[in-house]
């Protein structure tokens, strides 16, 4: 199905200055597993430019002078506390895919084993930070798969980088990224506890088999859901689309787990929060590269889960976190690691993690061929855990939710009547 037709290393168009040859990682990133999170952008064949690939390579080379750590390498042995900005470059792959584009666009839930072949497969031991794969489909359409290490980027950073690259490709002038200067780290003193690295301990451990499904929720259905939640309170909560959907899917996932096991287990919903506005004082907040996130957590102690109570709990935790004194990215990172480790190690609760890219520029990535007809984030590189991943639909008229649950629980979850009342057929 997939044939690699070309492979080339793309280096920055100009060398990185000597004073930038070492990029120290933030507190979060030193502890973060070296997971490469792929994103795949699908495009119809509406370009008359026969030099598409060369343009992509040239613009990527230009981008790497600004995103210079991405062309570097993590030093060995792992874990690393910095990136060697040595301009060794980014692997650029071309692949021929013996399937039409519509296989991935028309199907709500394309086969993950096939989708996973559309992005570079970098293992956790790789010292590379970024790889790119351009896929040519049998119909003439194509897809750009980007795999970027979580060591240097969160979801916001990935979206901004790909948009930067696309803007340069079509001849625009994007706002340059900002890399924060962090202090030198001594990992020997603070990275290992009890013989296990944070890299290992931050991964959820499970022998269960997981299933991933994608579901679409139209804005009209989400408005119905918001109205339902507002009617639960004397004072309307006016929840966001993300809050509304996260609370619903969390409730239905917990119900599925309870049905499978025959007993309720206290459960937590963890929502990833962009903390840039809280901890960074710069005019170009959104262009700061790195992992500038934290977790708002809702705890449900009884099986009578009410959507408004989930949202209220999330908001209370978020307000307490964002209302406190957080001096900088590193202090935020310490709080994140403490919260993340608490979730991973807490055996008394089931935990469901929600990440949202809604309202991000993920569907504005235009290399000069128009905007993507679909964007997919594969989940095979995520640790073994229950996940909810939200993105806007291509039309902007709803949310596509990627749901990852234990296989037996997924079979129950997708037949839940409350869930079915809001999901799009």
Tell me: the pLDDT tens digits for 77-121?
A: 777 899 999 999 999 999 999 999 999 998 988 888 899 999 998
- Least confident range from 150-164, 368-382, 385-399: namely 368-382
Residue of 87, 121, 328, 366 with catalytic role: 366
| pLDDT over 50 at 194, yes or no | no
pLDDT of 191 = 45
| pLDDT over 80 at 181, yes or no | yes
pLDDT of 192 = 43
The domains located in the chain, with CATH, are 2-186 (3.30.559.10), 209-420 (3.30.559.10)
Tell me: the pLDDT tens digits for 196-217?
A: 445 555 555 567 889 999 999 9
Q: What is the mean pLDDT of residues 318-331?
A: 86
- 150 labelled catalytic: yes
Q: What is the mean pLDDT of residues 5-26?
A: 96
pLDDT of 234 = 82
pLDDT of 284 = 59
The answer to whether 72 and 86 have CB atoms below 8 angstroms apart is yes
Residue of 36, 136, 150, 198 with catalytic role: 150
How large a percentage of the chain has pLDDT more than 90?
Answer: 74
- 366 labelled catalytic: yes
The partner residues of 300 in beta bridges, in order of sequence, read 267
Torsions phi, psi for 182 (to 5 deg): -105, 160
Enter the pTM of the model.
0.92
CA distance 284 to 334: 23
Q: What is the mean pLDDT of residues 163-183?
A: 94
């Amino acid at each position: 199905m997939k044939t690699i037709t070309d492979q080339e290393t793309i280096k920055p168009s100009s060398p990185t200055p000597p004073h930038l040859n070492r990029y120290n990682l933030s507190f979060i990133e030193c502890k973060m597993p070296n997971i490469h999170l792929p994103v795949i952008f699908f495009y119809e064949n509406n370009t008359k430019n026969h030099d598409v690939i060369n343009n992509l390579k040239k613009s990527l080379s230009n981008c790497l002078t600004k995103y210079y750590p991405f062309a570097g390498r993590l030093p060995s042995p792992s874990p690393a506390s910095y990136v060697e900005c040595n301009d060794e470059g980014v692997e650029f792959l071309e692949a021929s895919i013996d399937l039409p584009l519509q296989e991935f666009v028309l199907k709500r839930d394309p086969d993950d084993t096939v989708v996973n072949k559309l992005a570079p497969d970098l293992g956790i031991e790789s010292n590379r930070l970024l790889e790119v794969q351009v896929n040519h489909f049998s119909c003439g359409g194509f897809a750009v798969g980007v795999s970027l290490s979580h060591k240097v980027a969160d979801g916001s950073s990935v979206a901004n980088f790909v948009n930067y690259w696309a803007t340069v490709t079509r001849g625009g002038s994007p706002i340059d990224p900002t890399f924060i200067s962090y202090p030198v780290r001594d990992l020997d003193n603070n990275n290992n506890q009890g013989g296990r690295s944070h890299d290992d301990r931050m991964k959820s451990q499970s022998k269960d088999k997981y299933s991933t499904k994608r579901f679409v929720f139209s804005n009209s259905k989400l408005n119905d859901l918001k109205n339902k939640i507002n009617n639960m309170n004397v004072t309307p909560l006016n929840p966001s689309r993300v809050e509304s959907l996260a609370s619903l899917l969390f409730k239905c996932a917990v119900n599925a787990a309870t049905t499978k096991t025959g007993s309720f287990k206290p459960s937590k919903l963890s929502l990833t929060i962009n903390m840039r506005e809280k901890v960074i004082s710069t005019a170009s907040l959104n262009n700061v590269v790195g992992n500038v996130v934290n977790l708002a957590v809702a705890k449900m102690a009884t099986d009578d889960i009410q959507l408004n109570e989930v949202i209220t709990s999330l908001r209370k935790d978020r307000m307490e976190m964002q209302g406190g004194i957080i001096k900088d990215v590193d202090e935020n990172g310490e709080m994140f690691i403490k919260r993340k480790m608490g979730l991973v190690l807490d055996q008394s609760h089931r935990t469901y993690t929600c990440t949202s890219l809604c309202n991000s520029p993920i569907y504005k990535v235009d290399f000069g061929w128009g905007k993507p007809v679909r964007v997919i984030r594969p989940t095979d590189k995520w640790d073994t855990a229950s996940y909810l991943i939200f993105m806007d639909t291509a039309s902007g008229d709803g949310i596509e939710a990627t749901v990852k649950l234990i296989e037996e629980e997924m079979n129950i979850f997708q037949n839940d009547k409350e869930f079915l009342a809001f999901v799009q057929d």
